[in-house]
Each structure stands twice: as structure tokens, then as C-alpha cells.
Chain A
Amino acid sequence: MRPTSISSRVEGGAPAPRPPRGAAGDAPSARVWLSGPYVVLLLVALVVPLAHLGAISIFTHHPRLMFVAEPTLENYARLLQPYYLEVLVRTLRIGLVTTLCCMVLGVPLAYWLARCGPTALGIGLFLLVMPMMVSTVVRAFGWMIILGRNGVINQISVGLGFERWLFVMNTETAVVIALVQICLPLLVLPTLASIERIPRSLEEAAANLGASPVQLFRRVILPLAAPGIASGAVLAFLVAIGVVVTPALMGGRGSRMIGNEIYDQLITALNWPFASAMAIALIAIVLGAVIASRAAAAAAERFRREAARRRASAGGA
């Protein structure tokens, strides 16, 4: 198997079979009515509202008219105040810690799912996708019952004759715990898809050549699954930094994230320009994360090819 064919399989999935020439969907007129409705929705409900939000972010706040069209950078300057900088840093920290925890727990789980056989895989996917699709409010509520002052864990400990010992509610730790549960499936699914494309023969070959399980995981599985892990990690990070409900219910005053500030400024304080500026800052972070992960995946790919070429030339010599 040449490296190029693996990489094309890892990145693009199975090559699409060519439909017959002149099949439905080929004609230019068909293209318009196939893509048209969704493109219109994207423009009306996404592109225009986001552009509108971007415009408001440089306008001046007005207590009664909401805003007046006088350009200003004041809203962005306010983001640099210590309080909001702290919120931004906290949001990034929570996002990064959550993503790291998801990787540590999720990559081995994805590997196990990829190799556990069809029945276990079916059950495993159900147990993975079902919680993922349940509302985040419900899940935050569940964590409150488990982790609260009088929660399940403390009840058990009191019932066993000890003191209450768990006091994570209303801390950043509680927010991270709930977010890891939310983001984990988002990381596992793409990782699983890329691990499944690694031929088992490759693993067997590595094992026959004396690779230990840890070596196998580090030298074969991780590099080949890197694109899936990278795209899953980005998804997990994006979801983790864009939440309102989870920190509102579990974080308390000291763990507010940028989503809470955007919500309060928009709905309660009615400062639309400042809320918009924070939203634009969040979009900038999202873009930065996507670009960083693409760059990391490309670098990993280059490194892998380089190593393969070196190994091939060493083998030929």
C-alpha cells in the first residue's frame, strides 16, 4: 500500500463512484434548484445576520435606540479590560483542558470501538450517540444531582459514615467535567472513523516485528489517526468554548465564560454593540482554532511522509 493511497482514504473517505454521464444533478439548471434553497437559507439565516452583528460591533451603544451608527472601537477596547480578559482566558483554558481530557479518554475508546467486533460496536455507538443528542440542559442537571453539596456522591459518603468531601459544584472543575461529557463523543466519532480505515494487517505486521502495544499505538495508530483526532479535537474545542447553560448552572460567579457575558450583554444589559464585539472575538478564536488544527494535521502528514520515505530508502539500501 503506497502512502498516498492511505492518505487519500484517511482524508476523503472512499472515493465516490462516478455516476453515469448526464445523470440527474449534472445539468447547470439542476445545480441551481439542488443547492439554491440551502444557499438561500445560509445567506438569510447565517451570512447576513453575522454580517449585521459584525457591523453592530463597531457602532456606538445607545441606551434607548440600542445603538447609533457612529463607528467606534470602544467595544473592542472594553474587551481588554481586566475582567473581560480574565473571562476570555478562562474560556480558552476551559476549552483546552476539556479538549485534552477528551483526547486522553476518547482516543483509547475509539481504538477499542474500532477493534471490538460488530455487535459491541453497535451497542457502543448507541451508548455514544444517544447521550450526545440529549439536551445539554438535561446533562448539566444530571451532573448537579451527582456533584452537588447534597448530591449523590456526598450522600453516599455521608451514608457510609464519612463527612461530605466533594465540593466541586460552582467551580471550574465542575464545568470541565460536564463539558468533557458533552464533547467526548464529538472527538470519538471522527477518531473512530479514521482508526477503522487503518488496515489490521498493518497492526499485525507491527506486532510480528516485535512492536509492544504501546509502541504500536504510538508509532502506527496515532500517526494514521491524526487527521481524525485533529478534526474531532477542533469540534470538541469549538463546542466547549461556545456554551452558556453549562457554566451558568454549574460554574457559579467565578467560572463565567464568554457565552455567559454575550448572553447577559445582549438580553439583560441590552448593550448590543458590546455583545456583538464579544461574539466577533469568539468567531476569531474559532477561526484561529480551525486554522491551527489544519496546520497541525498538515505538519503531521508531512512528518509521516518524510519518515516513510526515510524508512523506504533505508530498506532499499
Chain B
Amino acid sequence: MHGSSTALRVLATLVFAFLLAPLLVVVLVSFSPTPAFRIPTTEFSLDWYRKFFGMAQFRDGLFLVSLPVALASGSLATLLGTLAAVYLVRSGLASRAAMESFFMLPLLIPSILLGAALYLVAARMGVAGQAWTLVLGHTLLGVPYVIRVVGAGLVAIDPRLEEAAVNLGCTSRQAFLRVVLPLLKPAMFSGAIFAFIVSFSDVNLALFVAGPGTTTLPIHVFSQIFWEGDPTIAAASALQILVVGVLILTMQRLLKLRLSL
């Protein structure tokens, strides 16, 4: 097995390099001293970050649209997803598998279709481009992640703990709230982070649903790339990578959670 395990390690390294390459060049170019999209070799500068925070469109896209929408839809998705996960794991339904597929539907339907369908409804109601349609759509995209993570957390909790609490005089509701829920917190937090990032990084749905006042950061970066902007878009992209990286690292290191979906 040893000869082949070396080959396997080389392959794994190359695949990881392939996965990380586009992120790495974006971060490097964001420190470029010139307006060309070149990787700086001798001189580094923070000019493009200064320009990013100086430009209202970028700043507002991040602080007034992307972050609030991601916070709102992440919280909403965590609430709905946790309730739905408890429902799936606890109510011994015969139709559980069917319910579970129904609940996972937003993962199965391409999000451009969800975006297009939401846009058509919103446009007919005359509310296209408003922030809450974006929040609604992003919540929908986030809930399946929360259900997966919280459902797995719930299954992993020893049912004897709850039994013991009931035997010691708790009602079943008290046992759930005081014993199970605290143990479930890391999983809920991790589900919330996933739902936040799904909203923060989404383009497919926002492309259809976002309007002039609700241009998220990725959408703004997209239109800037289209019209060939300067490395400010690299700085904007690098900041997004930073946010996602820190959040995933938090989830993995701080909460000691296994990153699996």
C-alpha cells in the first residue's frame, strides 16, 4: 500500500492546490501597488483596501446590505431549521423520509430558479428589489444546512440524559429545554454560521432578487468585474474570503466541530 499512498498524497496535494489557487491569487492581487491585476513581487500596498472603504457602493454593499441580510436570514434560518430538525428527529413519523426530502428541497433546486421564481412573484406584487425578499430567499437557502447540522447534533445526544432528567422529576418539556437544548448549542451555532455564510456568499439568488438599493457585495463585485474595474474588486473579494475563513475556522477550532454537512 505504501507506493500507492505516496501517489495518493501527491494527488491530494495537487487537488488542494487547485481548490485554493483562485482564492490565493485574489488575496495576493489585492496587495498590488499598480492598477494591473498582477501578483506583486517586490512592493505591497494597501491602497485598494483604502479605496474599498472610501467608495460608498462597496462600503454600503458590505455594511448596509450583505451583513444585515446575512445576519437576519442566518438567525431566521437557525430558528426555523432547529425547530424543523427537532421535528424530523423526534416525531417518530412513518413519513419521515418523505418529509426530510421535502425539507431539503432548497438544496436540490438550483438557486437561480428559486431566485427567478421569487423575482416573478415580487415583481407582480410590486415589491421587487426590497431587502425582505432577499432575506426570505436566503433563509430558504440556509435552513437545509441548519437542519443537517442540528439534526446530526440531536442524534448524537445520549437519550439517557433526558430520561434521567424525567426520572428526577422534570417534565418532558423541561428536560428538553434544560438538558438537550444546552447540549445542542454548538450545533445550532455552527448551523447559524453556515446559514450566515450561505447568505453572505450567495450570487445566484441575489442576481435575480436584489434591486438597486439592495446590491449585495458579491453582486456589486460581479458588475465591477464585468465592466473591468481596478484591484478594488480584489480587495473586496479578499475581505469576503477573510470573513468566510474566520467563520469556518471559528466553527472548527472554537467549537471543536467536525466540518461535515
Chain A residues within CB distance 8 Å of chain B: 13-14, 16-20, 22-26, 30-31, 33-35, 37-38, 41-42, 44-46, 48-50, 52-53, 56, 105-106, 108-109, 111-113, 116, 122, 124-131, 133-146, 148, 150-152, 155, 178, 180-181, 184-185, 189, 192-193, 207, 213-214, 235, 238-239, 241-245, 248-249, 259, 262-263, 266-267, 272, 275-276, 279, 282-283, 286, 290
CB <8 Å contact, A53 and B117: yes
B74 within 8 Å of A (CB atoms): no
B71 within 8 Å of A (CB atoms): no
* Cβ-defined partner of A136 (8 Å) among B38, B90, B180, B203: B203
B130 within 8 Å of A (CB atoms): no
Using known A-B contacts A24-B172, A46-B106, A242-B112, determine if residue A142 contacts B23 with beta carbons closer than 8 Å: yes
| C-alpha gap A185/B124 in the complex (Å) | 37
| Residues in A neighbouring B159, C-beta threshold 8 A | 17-20, 23
| C-alpha gap A136/B198 in the complex (Å) | 11
| Interface bits B233-261 vs A (CB < 8 Å: 1, else 0) | 11001001100110011001000001111
Using known A-B contacts A105-B15, A130-B245, determine if residue A26 contacts B92 with beta carbons closer than 8 Å: yes
| C-alpha gap A290/B164 in the complex (Å) | 43
| Residues in B neighbouring A112, C-beta threshold 8 A | 8-9, 11-12
Tell me how far the C-beta of B133 lies from the nearest C-beta in chain A, rounded to whole angstroms: 9
Using known A-B contacts A109-B11, A184-B19, determine if residue A137 contacts B225 with beta carbons closer than 8 Å: yes
Using known A-B contacts A23-B176, A125-B260, A242-B112, determine if residue A41 contacts B140 with beta carbons closer than 8 Å: yes
CB <8 Å contact, B222 and A137: yes
| Residues in A neighbouring B114, C-beta threshold 8 A | 45-46, 49
B183 within 8 Å of A (CB atoms): no
| C-alpha gap A288/B204 in the complex (Å) | 22
CB <8 Å contact, B207 and A41: no
CB <8 Å contact, A134 and B110: no
CB <8 Å contact, B162 and A23: yes
* Cβ-defined partner of A41 (8 Å) among B38, B143, B180, B202: B143
Tell me how far the C-beta of A87 lies from the nearest C-beta in chain B, rounded to whole angstroms: 14
| Residues in A neighbouring B19, C-beta threshold 8 A | 127-128, 131, 181, 184-185
| C-alpha gap A283/B113 in the complex (Å) | 8
CB <8 Å contact, A139 and B23: yes
| C-alpha gap A171/B20 in the complex (Å) | 22
Q: 20 A-B contacts, Cβ less than 8 Å apart?
A: A14-B155, A18-B159, A26-B92, A34-B84, A34-B91, A35-B99, A42-B103, A56-B120, A106-B15, A126-B249, A127-B19, A131-B19, A135-B221, A137-B237, A141-B26, A141-B234, A181-B18, A242-B204, A249-B226, A282-B110
Tell me how far the C-beta of A254 lies from the nearest C-beta in chain B, rounded to whole angstroms: 17
CB <8 Å contact, A144 and B8: no
CB <8 Å contact, A152 and B25: yes
CB <8 Å contact, A138 and B218: yes
| Interface bits B189-206 vs A (CB < 8 Å: 1, else 0) | 000001001101111100
The list of the 9 closest CB pairs from A to B, nearest first, reads A142-B22, A242-B110, A25-B90, A24-B176, A49-B117, A34-B87, A135-B201, A213-B4, A125-B259
Using known A-B contacts A152-B39, A245-B207, A263-B208, determine if residue A275 contacts B116 with beta carbons closer than 8 Å: yes
* Cβ-defined partner of B15 (8 Å) among A50, A148, A184: A184
Tell me how far the C-beta of A56 lies from the nearest C-beta in chain B, rounded to whole angstroms: 6
Residue of B nearest to A260 (CB): B112
Within 8 A of A (CB), among B155-194: 155, 158-159, 162-163, 166, 172-173, 175-177, 180, 194
CB <8 Å contact, A142 and B25: yes
| C-alpha gap A48/B8 in the complex (Å) | 48
Residue of B nearest to A249 (CB): B225
| C-alpha gap A152/B166 in the complex (Å) | 64
B33 within 8 Å of A (CB atoms): no
B46 within 8 Å of A (CB atoms): no
Residue of B nearest to A143 (CB): B22
| C-alpha gap A286/B180 in the complex (Å) | 38
| Residues in A neighbouring B260, C-beta threshold 8 A | 125, 189, 192-193
CB <8 Å contact, A49 and B155: no
B108 within 8 Å of A (CB atoms): yes
* Cβ-defined partner of A19 (8 Å) among B9, B90, B137, B202: B90
Residue of A nearest to B181 (CB): A24
B21 within 8 Å of A (CB atoms): yes
Tell me how far the C-beta of A36 lies from the nearest C-beta in chain B, rounded to whole angstroms: 8
CB <8 Å contact, B1 and A207: yes
Within 8 A of A (CB), among B98-121: 99, 102-103, 105-114, 116-121
| Residues in A neighbouring B87, C-beta threshold 8 A | 25, 31, 34-35
| Residues in A neighbouring B92, C-beta threshold 8 A | 18, 26
CB <8 Å contact, A49 and B118: yes
| Residues in A neighbouring B111, C-beta threshold 8 A | 242
Using known A-B contacts A20-B162, A20-B172, A184-B19, determine if residue A155 contacts B248 with beta carbons closer than 8 Å: no
Within 8 A of A (CB), among B1-34: 1, 3-4, 8-9, 11-12, 15-16, 18-26, 29
CB <8 Å contact, B259 and A49: no
CB <8 Å contact, A279 and B204: no
CB <8 Å contact, B140 and A129: no
